[in-house]
Amino acid sequence: MPEVEIAGVGKLQMLPDMADGDWVFVGKLTPQDLGALKLAVALLYQPDSGDHYQLRLGAKEAQFFLVTKGKSQPLGRAGSPGVLLKPGQQTDLAVRRDGWNLSLLLGGRLVCAAQDATLAAGGLGFAVSGAVLAEPILQFIGDMGFEDDFMRGTEERSLWQPVSGSWQEESLRIDPQASTMQEARSANAFSYLGRAAQGRALTVAGYWFWSGYRVQASVRPLGGGAAGLVALYRDPDNYLALRWTPRASTAGDGNRLQILQRVAGEERILAETPGGFRPEQWYQLALAVNGPWVKAYLDGELLLSARNEAFRQGKCGLLVEGNAGVNFDDVVLAPWGYFADDFLDGSRWDAISGKWERAAGRYSTGGTGLLLGPPIDWPRFAFNADAHVDKGSAGLVVGYRDAKNYTLLRYSLTSGGARLEVVQVTEGQEKVLASAPAERVAGLAVRLGLQVDRNVLAGEVGDTRLLWALLPAVPTGRLGLYTSSGGWFSFVESQRMEPPPVAHVTKEFRDDKEHWEMAAWATRRSPWLIPPGLQVEREGNLILRDFSSPSEFGNHVWWTKGTYFGDKAVFFKIPSWGRVSGTARVTLDARRGAGGEVLGGYTLAVGAKAGSKALYLGLSAADRALAETTVTVEEEECAIEFAHLGSFLQVRVNDNLVLQTAVSG
């Protein structure tokens, strides 16, 4: 390996890879002489300046440092490896970079952590004495996520790796009708059955370096015992679990939902709440982990929160106790970005202006002040905090790049009450993007909140959404807290939001030729009412007639069956992009006329011509043109998103925003 000399450390062996984004540096560490053990790892090393982060690990202490211009500054808190290092015993060493977080794990256990966003990319290297560090590699974290409804053909490999107990895919519904059903025609033909003849049955999926995720599954316990989910799994003796026991159980741990932590084979309950399951009933469990935060959900409702100081990475899994077994279905794993601070335990906040004090769960200042927290690069997120001001204003900052560039949701006390504003600061110039009157809460803290959906920001006071604003771009940067004339903040929380799930139809019912009686509700055409001109009657049911070519389809209006409220978006693709001609219109928030015609609403007109990569897009409200554009779509696919968010219409083509306009409602 190439070598770099660093003052105070000596020569470091450098990995050939450059690190950026989120990653894990791993190696196998075998101490030989604990008294002489010294490991220095240079992280994000800048070859021009020599600046870098440095991890220093000895037998008694480990800590991160920021080294700039040759000077070291400690970051975070020191930790002690304790019994995790033993002479002659190999242990996994992992140094993680997650956002602005740095963490050291030995044997999968957290030793020390720090937060800093000064350096974003650079080299990695290490120097070691008193030990051997073998097989160092740089593992990028990348996207994580999967879904499993256990409906797979014989050729597809299972995602799951059974650890203990018995696990099998069950191909028939478990109910009295099962004997009359055929798996090819069942809506829920497949599930995953786990059983534990003794102890606990576990099966896992994913990768060892996964972190910051939420795992969710439909769960149907078949008897006593327990059912649950696993996260941050390293091995059978080290993981987090959500464990649920039966309502009818009289055991000491019966009739309750628990978050438990298993460390080196010993278990500790981190949080629990009374209430157990009834057997033979389907439920939805979810377990979410990010950094030290753990949350558990039952049927979509948050029931448990806990802190985990042991683990930071690992696979997800399913858990069963008892021989009756548990069916699992519809397992979904998705990234879960989350940050919270009750200001009790010293997470990093940087005072950019003003003098801030942290005490008794509050961060307060006497005058104008700006306090910065973690950087966020999520396309959709919520951010809220409890704020208390007696005069002037308080606010939430997002997308902070520097003192002249950020977005502020500002709550100001006025003579007549209060006002909420979205203020965009660009190169030091303030511009109010949106403004609305707000309730003034005398003598009490007010809950300020915002939700960002790419470049649309919605502002809230309490639980009331008061305004929307179009931002110039997705607000990527640090979160912050602001006051103009003193005040305090408590309990800050930010969470990444995923787009709501799209309704899908089970594969079996797409073929309605044999089951035309299902066509009205269960095919991919089921969310839409078939236009009268395209219907034919078959044995008392109206279904879509057959077509021999697309040209026979004609010009008809298809209406959804449901009524949709609030923010909404429609996604569709133009098939055979570049080789078809025609126009299509999609309308949101419309009413259906007596003759099926479209009344009101907002319409996106899409036009394409065969042989051309030009796509016409036009927005209108009734007969009034709002905005239009023509874009060139060079890709093989043309995927369109038409969204109505708050008081804005947006059109995206292949995830690129191409058209947007403000509307009144």
209 contributes a contact to other proteins by CB under 8 A: yes
Letter string b/e over residues 468-495, b meaning 16 or more CB atoms within 10 A of that residue's CB: bbbbeebbebbbbbbbbbbbbbbbbbbb
Least distance in angstroms from the C-beta of 257 to other proteins: 31
DSSP string across 302-364: EEEEEE-SS----EEEEEEESSS-EEEEEEEEEE--EEEE-SSS----EEEES-EEEETTEEE
**Interaction residues for other proteins, span 388-427 (CB under 8 A):** none
314 contributes a contact to other proteins by CB under 8 A: no
Whose Cβ is closer to other proteins: residue 623's or residue 636's?
Answer: 636
Whose Cβ is closer to other proteins: residue 41's or residue 298's?
Answer: 41
Q: Which residues contact 544 (CB under 8 A, 6 or more apart)?
A: 519, 525, 530, 534, 535, 536
Centroid of chain to Cα 313: 16
552 contributes a contact to other proteins by CB under 8 A: no
Part of the chain binding other proteins (CB under 8 A), chosen from 138-146, 214-222, 315-323, 555-563: 138-146
CB 538 within 8 A of CB 545: no
CB 640 within 8 A of CB 648: no
Residue listed under structure tokens 């000077």? 71
16 contributes a contact to other proteins by CB under 8 A: yes
Residue listed under structure tokens 């984004």? 21
260 contributes a contact to other proteins by CB under 8 A: no
Part of the chain binding other proteins (CB under 8 A), chosen from 113-121, 134-142, 165-173, 528-536: 134-142
CB 103 within 8 A of CB 312: yes
Part of the chain binding other proteins (CB under 8 A), chosen from 146-154, 244-252, 371-379, 430-438: 146-154
141 contributes a contact to other proteins by CB under 8 A: yes
Binding-site member from 427, 514, 623, 634 for other proteins (CB under 8 A): 634
Whose Cβ is closer to other proteins: residue 159's or residue 588's?
Answer: 159
Q: 520 φ, ψ to 5°? A: -65, -20
134 contributes a contact to other proteins by CB under 8 A: yes
137 contributes a contact to other proteins by CB under 8 A: yes
Residues in contact with other proteins, counted by CB under 8 A, come to a total of 31
Q: Name the nearest CA neighbour of 191 among 176, 174, 214, 210.
A: 174
**What are the structure tokens assigned to 400, written together?**
């902070």
Least distance in angstroms from the C-beta of 25 to other proteins: 12
537 contributes a contact to other proteins by CB under 8 A: no
Part of the chain binding other proteins (CB under 8 A), chosen from 44-52, 104-112, 136-144, 259-267: 136-144
Whose Cβ is closer to other proteins: residue 158's or residue 485's?
Answer: 158
The dihedral formed by the CA atoms of 390, 441, 386 and 462, expressed in degrees to the nearest 10: -150
367 contributes a contact to other proteins by CB under 8 A: no
Binding-site member from 4, 19, 26, 204 for other proteins (CB under 8 A): 26
Residues found near other proteins in the complex (CB under 8 A): 1, 15-16, 26-27, 133-137, 139-143, 146, 152-153, 155-157, 207-209, 634-637, 639, 654-655
